[in-house]
Amino acid sequence: EILMHLVRRSHQSNFIGKVKEALNTVKGGFAYLLMTEKQLIAALDPNGFRPLSIGKMKNGAWVVSSETCAFEVIGAEWIRDVKPGELIVIDDSGITYHQYTTDTQLAICSIEYVYFARPDSTIYGVNVHPARKEMGKMLAQEFRREADRVVGVPNSSLSAAMGFAEESGLPNEMGLVKNQYTQRTFIQPTRDLREQGVRMKLSAVSGVVKGKRVVMVDDSIVRGTTSRRIVSLLREAGATEVHVAIGSPELKYPCFYGIDIQTRRELISANHTVEEVCDIIGADSLTYLSLDAMIDAIGLETDAPKGGLCVAYFDGEYPTPLYDYEDEYLRSLEEQTSFYIEKVK
């Protein structure tokens, strides 16, 4: 809606020129898809924060999707990814590629590989399942506890659990069963809805975990609601120990590029040490994958900073200016610093 207002206000002579000018005005992360009576137009932000790919049907029709797995469903062939700062125009004559800005870099959201994308999708040449599996292997190398078996939290953590089990030599068991008809919990707007979502979403398999020291592999900890409930489920099912292993680093900073993580106040790792988070979620131990290991596990073939990833969630180093959000963000950092100073007094 904002983009169309900018297009309307442009003084360029043709529609594509107007769209290019409008895109150069918009800041932040976006993957736009515009349709006119005769054209399909796709555009990606200059940092490539979100995945966007082009495919082609057997009948010659062109398709655009945020995930490559969609192409297989409709029988389309993947052609290539949309590049940062690129504008794609599809019409009766075929497809044309335009670069609306040359001030670009690759900083794809790392959480796409960790959590959001389907395991059968490929993003910038890296398939999600092997990447998550490699994260699990590296997580096992950094894990320092004795355990009996590995249990992955379905569905986004199952690949990492496979890798963890392979590397550690522990059996990988289905200790948690998911109700497939519930929404993802961390994107629910309130704590009550998130806790209700966890209760409806998962059940523990007592026959798998009873009397066992369990490594619970999950992709991330955002607010702690899900982790606390799952640890409780495993204990209620008879697990003697629950060691939580997270296939990403501590999530400490908000997202300003389209994900519903708006402030540091709602992030449990921004307000507590690893030991405190472990105590809050009721685990026997808590291990996070290191940032360098996550970047290496994803393994994008690029010389861009941070391995071509946006890892601002984890280190607070944003690849773009924060514009209108900057003052509020800096105030939150000052409040956080004061909080820690008071905490250690």
Q: What secondary structure, in 3-state letters, does 180-244 show?
A: CCCCCCCCCCCHHHHHHHHHHHEEECHHHHCCCEEEEEECCCCCCHHHHHHHHHHHHCCCCEEEE
> Which of 69, 104, 139 is at the close of a domain?
104
Q: Are residues 238 and 171 in the same domain?
A: yes
**Inside any domain, residue 326:** no
Give the C-alpha separation, 211 to 148, whole Å: 10
261 and 134 housed in the same domain: yes
- Say if 72 falls within a structural domain: yes
Task: Report how many domains make up the chain.
Answer: 2
State the Cα–Cα distance between residues 86 and 65, nearest whole angstrom. Answer: 15
Residue 9 confidence class, pLDDT cut points 50, 70, 90:
very high
Amino acid 99: pLDDT: 98
**For the segment 33-45, what is each residue's pLDDT rounded down to a tens digit?**
999 999 999 999 9
Is 339 part of a structural domain of the chain? no
Q: Which CATH number characterizes residue 79's domain?
A: 3.60.20.10
User: Same domain, yes or no, for 190 and 58?
Assistant: no
Per-residue pLDDT tens over the stretch 230-269: 999 999 999 999 999 999 999 999 999 988 888 888 899 9
Which pLDDT value is given to residue 326? 86
Boundaries of domain holding 70? 2-104
Specify the pTM: 0.90
| The pair of three-digit structure tokens given for residue 78, joined into one six-digit string | 């993947």
Same domain, residue pair 76 and 134: no
- Compute the distance between CA of residue 85 and CA of residue 228 in angstroms, rounded to an integer: 41
If asked whether residues 24 and 155 sit together in one domain, one would say no
Q: Are residues 280 and 160 in the same domain?
A: yes
* pLDDT beyond 70 at 191: no
The fraction of the chain above a pLDDT of 70, given in percent, is 92
User: Do 283 and 159 share a domain, yes or no?
Assistant: yes
- Calculate the dihedral angle through the C-alpha atoms of 22, 313, 52, 67, rounding to the nearest 10 degrees: -150
Give the three-state DSSP class for 36.
coil
Determine, yes or no, domain membership for 312: no
Q: Of 12-21, 97-106, 173-182, 230-239, where does mean pLDDT reach its minimum? A: 173-182
- Asked whether residue 318 is assigned to any structural domain, the reply reads no
User: In the prediction, which pLDDT does 53 show?
Assistant: 98
Residues 159 and 225 in one domain: yes
Confidence band, pLDDT 50/70/90 cuts, at residue 201: confident
- Give the mean model confidence (pLDDT) for residues 85-108: 97
List residues bridging with 332 in a β-sheet. none
Do 261 and 153 sit in the same domain of this protein?
Answer: yes
